[in-house]
Chains A and B, each alone.
Chain A
Amino acid sequence: MKTNENSRRDFLATTLIAGAALAGCGSKSPFTPEDIADVKPSGEMVKLLSVDGEIIEVDKAFLKPVPEMPTVSNEEARIGIPGKKFAMVIDLSRCKNLKKCQSACNHMHHVHPGQNWIKLNAMQEADKTAPYWQPTTCMHCDEPPCVKVCPVDATFKRKDGIVLIDSDRCVGCRFCMAACPYSTRVFNWEEPKLEKAIADQPYNCETSVPQKKGTVGKCDFCPDMVRQGNLPHCVSACPNGVFFFGDILEDSVTNGAETFRFSDLIKDKAGYRLMEDLGTKPSVYYLPPVNRNFPFENNVEAEKKD
């Protein structure tokens, strides 16, 4: 799992630099003169896809992994992405309990085995009401009870609406876990089982990696992905397009394949938020499980077989 992740990262890095090198041929060389002087063409050519969508060939010697992209500072991570207010819409009528969201999230955040930041709750309000699957992420509340009770400002609310955790500051009192009515937070009861390369990275609030022993972790809306203009991992991992993510100020949400006007979607499908009566004002909206794509029962049996 870990190796996959690394090779993926390396591939991205090499592609980036190659793309940049080609795009900027001539005037703006990404290499410093010494770099060019050092590089001797190996004669082995590699095919790459340029940013313009053309297939190009580059000498392998020019492909060098760039150093880790500079991460945002703790101060920037605490402020958030300017001019944005993120929200998620989860369409319950599309959820089949495949848990692809969960496995992608666990994989990308190196969540401790057995624990999950996204939980798939089998919901049934009353005996005679219809059961349904409810993926539960962090609600990124606008009145976050967890942030209110944190004694050291380790968990904080950003201007873009995202609630994050600074694992370098968390004292592990777990008051936030008691305060959260959505039971979204998990604790690192033991030393996280991480590959050394990952464990040695400095902690980044926006990736929530690496998790640290004795501190709290939770769904972070993947602000690192969002900053790069990508979707959170759960959104892109779901094959049924259950998760929509977007900026409320732009009034649009997307699951990668479909894009909706946020306000229309909520209006047309009667979107709602969990435990509205508590006054936490979540940023996650649910669309009710009507006209479902999948029956509930089949998946209960699948669940049992697991």
Chain B
Amino acid sequence: MEKIAEQKIIDDLLPQKFGKQGVIWVISLLAVCALGAYAYFRQLYYGLEVTNLRDYVSWGIYISNFVFFVAISLVGSLITAVLRLSDVHWSTPLTRIAEIIAVSAIAFAGLIIIVDMGRPDRFYNLFTHGRLQSPIVWDVIVITTYLLISLLLLYFPLLPDLKIMIKNKERNGKYLQKLYEFLGSFWKDKPEQFKITDKAINILSITIIPVAFAIHTVTSWLFATTYRPGWDSTNFGAYFISGAFLVGSGAVLIAMYVFRTHYKLEKYITNDHFDKMGKIVVLLALIYLYFNVNEFLVPAFKMKKSEEHHLMGLFTGEFALAFWFAISTAMLIPILILIFKKGRTPKAAFVAGILVVVGSWFKRYLIVTPTLLHPFLPMSDVPENYKHYFPSWEEWAIAGGSLAGALLVVTFFARIFPIIPIHETITETNEHEKV
């Protein structure tokens, strides 16, 4: 990183007010959220009847969206913990981006599960009557733990930055100043304080890795603990985790590009970062591809009768278009783009990131829905619309609203806090100089 003066770093990285683009962005996200909220109100009033879920396809885009959110949140642990523990320093400017994506995604994963419940008013039953043998209860436990650790991993490195922000009073409004003081006025930049937070962050970085594996493995077990063709797979845990790291890293590529261009952070999120993240995405896409080959080729080789309808539906049947779209956009095309040096320039990497995320969303849909349309016994004695599934407008609006909500959280976070750690950037520049 080229030498930049400390004050310049602070000026560059302190949060900025929304520009015209920012306001339009926020208003459109709010509009999507409002539509989602209206749709959810309808769902609460009329029941899940407003969805196109029925007895056979009883889990649809809410659940696939849930899986998507849990998946994307894993990137927090990858960038913050895995890279930190392996002593990789280039990723420092990306840690906070990854961590806020993780926090916001996992929070909305929890929300979307409540949206999917037939009786959200009885949510407390999970605590008053919870039974440990149900994978849902495991999910509740690990997701809450993950949210908590992620919040702490977001908060601790923020403390020195809070002090910087409190000092720069003139840039903050009255309420923001109060918020910063509430969160960080006890921080005095003392060496003991650094020692404690460093230690805490280390411990959290170590603990978050098994918890991160747990949240997505347990999420995969919601499916793999059933008998259904397409879900009944011992491959599922690893398959989900590898896919999760991939989609999260894709999201980080997108966020890197957006923040870099919007806040003019070219000096901090450099071409080199895109190059390195691009390589990581290639590696992760290859790993995910490997698990996909395992997941589909092995049962397809045997073609057991129960699996046959499901697999043929994906390969050549009614889901073929979506299936091959997902495989190519989530894995094949991003690999082809990012494997070349020219593909790892910011703009190309951004496009690859979008492909990964969009493809991965469809991939989750294809994991959830087609299986449910291929039960063991024939679909009989049900109305015709029970035998198909396409989400209703309420489902789209709610799923879209949750995605917009997650983006809003990230957006507001970047408005209130420095999206690139100021203090750590200063320290690293100084260390860099010494070398």
On A, residues with C-beta under 8 Å from B are 102, 114-116, 119-123, 136, 145, 148-154, 169-175, 177-179, 181-183, 185-191, 213-216, 274-275, 278
Contact = CB atoms under 8 A, between A and B. Distances in A.
B21 interface: no
A8 to B, nearest CB: 25
13 contacts: A115-B382, A121-B380, A148-B134, A151-B130, A151-B136, A152-B122, A153-B129, A171-B126, A181-B228, A183-B379, A189-B47, A191-B47, A213-B47
Given A145-B227, A149-B134, A186-B55, A171 B118 contact: yes
Contacts, number: 140
Contacts of A214: 47-48, 117-119
Nearest to A214: B118
Given A120-B381, A152-B129, A183-B377, A278 B227 contact: yes
B381 A116 contact: yes
B55 A185 contact: yes
Main SS of the interface on chain B?
Answer: loop
A152 B136 CA distance: 9
A171 B131 contact: no
Given A178-B372, A182-B376, A191-B47, 12 more contacts: A115-B382, A121-B377, A151-B134, A171-B119, A171-B123, A172-B122, A181-B375, A185-B55, A187-B58, A187-B118, A189-B49, A213-B118
A175 B119 contact: no
6 smallest CB-CB distances across A and B, nearest first, come from A172-B118, A214-B118, A190-B49, A151-B136, A151-B134, A152-B129
A266 to B, nearest CB: 22
A2 B53 CA distance: 29
Contacts of B378: 121-123
Contacts of B222: 175, 178
Contacts of B116: 173-174
Interface residues of B, number: 44
Interface in B361-376: 372, 375-376
A55 B13 CA distance: 97
B125 A171 contact: yes
A116 B54 CA distance: 13
A114 B126 contact: no
Interface of B: 46-49, 51, 53-56, 58-59, 116-119, 122-123, 125-126, 129-131, 133-137, 140, 222-223, 225-228, 372, 375-383
Contact of A151 (B58, B126, B227): B126
Contacts of B119: 170-172, 214-215
Contacts of A169: 122, 125, 129
Contacts of B225: 148-149, 179
A152 B377 CA distance: 27
B122 A189 contact: no
A182 B377 contact: yes
Prevailing SS type, chain A contact patch: loop
Contact of A152 (B51, B131, B223, B380): B131
A213 B383 CA distance: 19
B46 A173 contact: no
A150 B377 contact: no
Given A119-B380, A175-B222, A178-B59, A189 B123 contact: no
A213 B44 CA distance: 11
A56 B135 CA distance: 61
B230 to A, nearest CB: 11
Contacts of A216: 118
A261 B47 CA distance: 47
A149 B227 contact: no
Contacts of B381: 102, 116, 119-120
A123 B378 CA distance: 8
A185 B133 CA distance: 20
Contacts of B383: 114
A189 B136 contact: no
A278 B376 CA distance: 11
A136 B375 CA distance: 14
A116 B56 CA distance: 13
B120 to A, nearest CB: 8
Contacts of B126: 151-152, 171
Contact of B125 (A120, A152, A185): A152
Contacts of A215: 118-119
A116 B129 CA distance: 29
B382 A174 contact: no
Contacts of B382: 114-116, 119
Contacts of A179: 225-227
A301 B377 CA distance: 21
Given A102-B381, A151-B137, A172 B226 contact: no
Nearest to A134: B377
Contacts of B133: 148
Contacts of A153: 129, 131
A120 B378 CA distance: 10
Nearest to B368: A178
